Structure 1
Amino acid sequence: MTNTATTLRTLITTWPDLRDALGDRPIHGAYGLGLRGYLATLDQHDAEQTAYDRAHAAHRRSQERDPAQLGDRPVPVSLRVYDTMRAVDAALAACAEVIASSVQTEPIPLPGPEWPANDRARRTAASRADLADPRRWRYRGRTPSAQHTALWLLARVEQRPGPFRPLSEQQERYIGGIARGALQRIEAVLDTAEGRRALDDRHRCPCGGTVEVYGGAGATPCAHCTGCGALWTEAGVIAA
């Protein structure tokens, strides 16, 4: 299995976790921004969520119904998760559009008047069946689910049968780049990826050493000075 196929499979199996998180209010990290940036991002997220809650409450009041009426009421959602889902949906759909325009074969043309009458019905049936083939990529203005699109792209990477030409190496690399970016975005929202990054010179330790921030996968972000060995969390210095 290629790296691109593995990435697409991981994205497909991770998507339900992202959908489940849509109604949650997790603490979101901001790895790579430094501890001050991490705390600022938490505050921003809380402010955005509070603003959403106010707007949502106003909407619910405007839609008040008799308690005897049946039906579901809308529930608050995580805006960050929602935005991520929509962004990944759009990115994968755009990728599929590009790939389909290159590798999807044209449907069998309908028979013209010159075709023999006894063969025209067979040709017409074959043409319509080819056009309606469910394996064809169809994007009619409504962005499909990322899972659906990733499955279609995976089938192209694995050269599954259908009305398609094989992918070139360049096309597979293009799919892989889009898929990796989408998966990284999902993992950042779900906080399932670990990482480490050195901050720039604006955020040096008082000793002059380089500060590295690391965390992810649910762990509390920490900062470490590569010079004096000082260690910080958002609560302050824990070792020096």
Structure 2
Amino acid sequence: MTTAATHLRTIATTWTDLRDALGAPTTIGAFGIGLRGYLNALEQYDPAEAVALRALERDPGQIGERPVPIQLRVYETMRTVEAALAECADAIAAEAQIEPTPFATRDWPAADRARRDARARADLADPRRWRFRGTTPRAPYTALWLLARVEHRPGPFRRLTEPQQRHIANVAAGAVGRIESLLDLTDQRRELTGQHPCACGGTIEMYGGAGAIPCARCKACGAIWTEQGVIAA
């Protein structure tokens, strides 16, 4: 199985986890509330984006300040992945999808017109066809449609070219990267460059994800701490 196929299957099979995370508490994955909350606090939002996020977060009549919930990050990730996959499918279908059989014209032999029109209707309604639509389809559907193209499944399609294969692979890899990062499915390492240095002035590097115990380490003095506090200095 190619990497593109693996990534497309991952998107389809992890989508339920993303949907579940929409209503989950703010803790997702091994980073936990402490370190993940710390990372979230370091991120700066565009003012216009902050207004939009706050409108989604709560009713305008509420008072007091509340942090942007992690559910909104899940929502944005899902929306971004769905849009990227749909755009990719549109591009692939525009080049690789064979036009449906045309209906019989006025000069078509009358004896064969009904058969021709029946074939045209069936070809047009083929469920394997990608439909250029106004609404964005759900990611699992699009991922599986692209998977069928990558695996050269039968249908009204031309065989994909190498550039088309690469395009799908790049989009799928980017989507999986977003999903795995959000769901904490892979090892993570992040330097807090220029922000909140260690007391010694050194750069803090954070580790976690994929079930690992989250911790942070100063690259200068070697101090190590977890969400419970400093464990080595």
TM range (shorter): 0.7 to 0.9
Range with bigger deviation, 13-22 or 228-237: 228-237
Q: Please name the residue that 1:19 is paired with.
A: 19
Counterpart Cα distance in 1 of 2:197 and 2:179: 30
Deviation digits for residues 182-202 of structure 1 (CA, Å, limit 9, x no counterpart): 112122222222122445466
Counterpart code for 1:101: A
Match for 1:129 among 112, 122, 127? 122
Counterpart code for 1:24: A
Q: Please name the residue that 1:55 is paired with.
A: 59
Preserved contact between residue 30 and residue 37 of structure 1 (Cα < 8 Å): no
Deviation digits for residues 205-226 of structure 1 (CA, Å, limit 9, x no counterpart): 5667654321113545322234
Match for 1:167 among 160, 178, 190? 160
User: Which SS does the other structure have where 2:59 is aligned?
Assistant: helix
Query: Are 2:56 and 1:40 equivalent residues in the alignment?
Result: no
Q: Please name the residue that 2:231 is paired with.
A: 238
- Identity among equivalent positions (%) equals 59
Counterpart Cα distance in 1 of 2:132 and 2:122: 18
Preserved contact between residue 101 and residue 120 of structure 2 (Cα < 8 Å): yes
Q: CA deviation at 1:114?
A: 2.5
Preserved contact between residue 29 and residue 41 of structure 1 (Cα < 8 Å): no
Structure 2 unaligned spans of 5+: 46-51, 63-68
Deviation digits for residues 145-170 of structure 1 (CA, Å, limit 9, x no counterpart): 00000010000000000010111121
Q: CA deviation at 1:37?
A: 5.0
Query: Are 2:101 and 1:97 equivalent residues in the alignment?
Result: no
Preserved contact between residue 30 and residue 210 of structure 2 (Cα < 8 Å): no
Counterpart Cα distance in 2 of 1:193 and 1:41: 21
Preserved contact between residue 3 and residue 169 of structure 2 (Cα < 8 Å): yes
TM-score under structure 2 length normalisation: 0.78
Q: Please name the residue that 1:195 is paired with.
A: 188
Q: Please name the residue that 2:10 is paired with.
A: 10
Deviation digits for residues 50-74 of structure 1 (CA, Å, limit 9, x no counterpart): 875641997xxxxxxxxxxxxxxxx
User: Which SS does the other structure have where 1:78 is aligned?
Assistant: helix
Q: CA deviation at 1:231?
A: 1.2
Preserved contact between residue 30 and residue 208 of structure 2 (Cα < 8 Å): no
Counterpart code for 2:185: T
Preserved contact between residue 39 and residue 234 of structure 1 (Cα < 8 Å): no
Range with bigger deviation, 191-200 or 174-183: 191-200
Aligned residue pair count: 217
TM-score under structure 1 length normalisation: 0.76
Change (3 A) 1:119 1:77: farther
Q: CA deviation at 1:2?
A: 0.4
Counterpart Cα distance in 2 of 1:200 and 1:130: 57
Deviation digits for residues 10-69 of structure 1 (CA, Å, limit 9, x no counterpart): 1111111111222212325798xx989515169x9xxx99875641997xxxxxxxxxxx
Counterpart code for 1:38: L
RMSD: 3.3
Preserved contact between residue 21 and residue 71 of structure 2 (Cα < 8 Å): yes
Preserved contact between residue 215 and residue 227 of structure 2 (Cα < 8 Å): yes
Q: Residues 58-73 of structure 1: matches in 2 within 5 Å? A: none
Counterpart Cα distance in 2 of 1:77 and 1:230: 29
Q: Residues 71-150 of structure 1: matches in 2 within 5 Å? A: 78-150=71-143
